[in-house]
Structure 1
């Protein structure tokens, strides 16, 4: 399984590193062949929030087939205006089994038209803006993540870890998700 995490400048550090840690830890604890990697618009270093520098493994033009796409949050106001990025998200969606967002990553999925008529969530401070910008969405607050079938959205920052553990429980088993959380010394908060 190929698990891609889409990153960009001003992304929240824990939005990208939390899911990466969950999936890579789950991979270490099991015999499942998971390829966990970061994808960015290009191969220039990404400057995440607080000046945290990250290098992507692949670009949106050059990556393996993606089974699970995770789009992270952060200051995404510029990202939703990038037609090539939105077009890429739509393209990946056609073959991916699951598409998820952390925090304001939901804005990118919504802009791509993937969340229309679905129940979704985002960071608590961005609930109203998401609902007003994309009125076809049923945006809910007070949930760590929302599973709408193929699409799973989470609240902000640490909620992405909880959602990723949930995805591990759905993809493999609850036992693996619990063992992953224990290995990370993390208290999994369920929905």
Structure 2
């Protein structure tokens, strides 16, 4: 897995936009920021920082639920105009019910992110929703036909929002899973031998996954022969897909945002870079699950 590269093959700086809104969860932002800001294309060269992070907010200074204030680099109007410049959008949790009820930002920006991707599907973009940030994605219909997770206290709320969106849009259901993080669009991640992939959750000797899914993905069901047939089909279909697409990542509670951010470093930069960030932070990276989109 290699980093995003420019036309000359050199690693590009990956542009990340964090959305801020009143009473967001501080660690949902600061955790991923810590991981991404430490990531380097070359782990031996501090000048090769992989990510450039910016913040958008309703005001110049945005206060978190914990009382910490972060400075916004731009307002939502400017962010909407420049949205095509970014590779990753990070949506933290917080008082999401108030956002949904009032139809406030970042809901419109999330919709714009999807619209831009549909206009240029060849570009690879990622949206990372930490904790209850996934509820905002569900409200905008972004999780339809995918698998997702959220903070354990909000599984039922996420299921309700996803069901409502599915009914509203006459679309496919969402599989809500009890995992540290769930990644959709595995085009770049699974490889030809998923069992050896470092981004997929490891299984215990008894065959039970390290996380217990609320609803197990199809990839975890059926006989071994059936699963092998589906695996070969998945590989063949992924091989025929053009590069690009929207990667959608949702996470459990606040610390799960660290795990998903390390996954993001691994998938966009390198596994070596992610392991080095985890080492420096003295953090044990707990893997989530990668879901093949055609198997959801």
Both proteins in one fold, TM over 0.5:
yes
Q: Does 1:74 align with 2:102?
A: no
User: In structure 2, what is the equivalent of residue 144 of structure 1?
Assistant: 180
Asked if 1:174 is matched to 2:271, the reply is yes
Separation in structure 1 between the aligned mates of residue 105 and residue 182 of structure 2, nearest angstrom: 27
- Structure 2 residue aligned with 1:52: 68
Equivalent residue, structure 1, for 2:151: 123
Give the C-alpha shift of residue 185 in structure 1.
1.8
Work out whether 1:183 is the aligned partner of 2:280.
yes
How far 1:35 moved relative to its partner? 1.4
Q: Is the 8 A contact 1:42 1:60 kept in 2?
A: no
Contact 1:38 / 1:58 at 8 angstroms: preserved in 2?
Answer: yes
Aligned residues: 189
Partner secondary structure for residue 11 of structure 1: coil
1:93-136 deviation per Cα after TM superposition (whole angstroms, max 9, x unaligned)? 32461111000000111112111121000000001111022213
- Which residue in 2 is equivalent to 1:159? 256
Using structure 1 for the length normalisation, give the TM-score.
0.91
* DSSP 3-state at the match of 2:39: helix
CA distance in 2, matches of 1:179, 1:84: 35
Look up the match of 1:110. 138
Worse overlay, 117-126 or 46-55: 46-55
- Taking structure 2 as the reference length, the TM-score comes to 0.60
Deviates more, 1:144-153 or 1:75-84: 75-84
* Residue of structure 1 aligned with 2:33, choices 13, 16, 20: 20
Q: Who is 2:111 aligned against? A: 90
Return 74-83 or 7-16, whichever deviates more. Answer: 74-83
Instruction: Quote the offset at 1:58 in angstroms.
Output: 1.8
User: What SS does structure 2 have at the residue aligned with 1:37?
Assistant: strand
Larger gyration radius, structure 1 or structure 2: 2
Contact 1:41–1:85 (8 Å) recurs in 2: no
Secondary structure, in 3 states, of the residue corresponding to 1:62? helix
On the 8 A contact 1:66/1:92 being kept in 2, the answer is no
Shift of 1:10: 1.4
Unpaired segments of 5 or more residues in structure 1?
none
Q: Which residue in 1 is equivalent to 2:54? A: 37
Q: Which has the higher strand share?
A: 1
Deviation of 1:42 after TM superposition, in Å, equals: 3.2
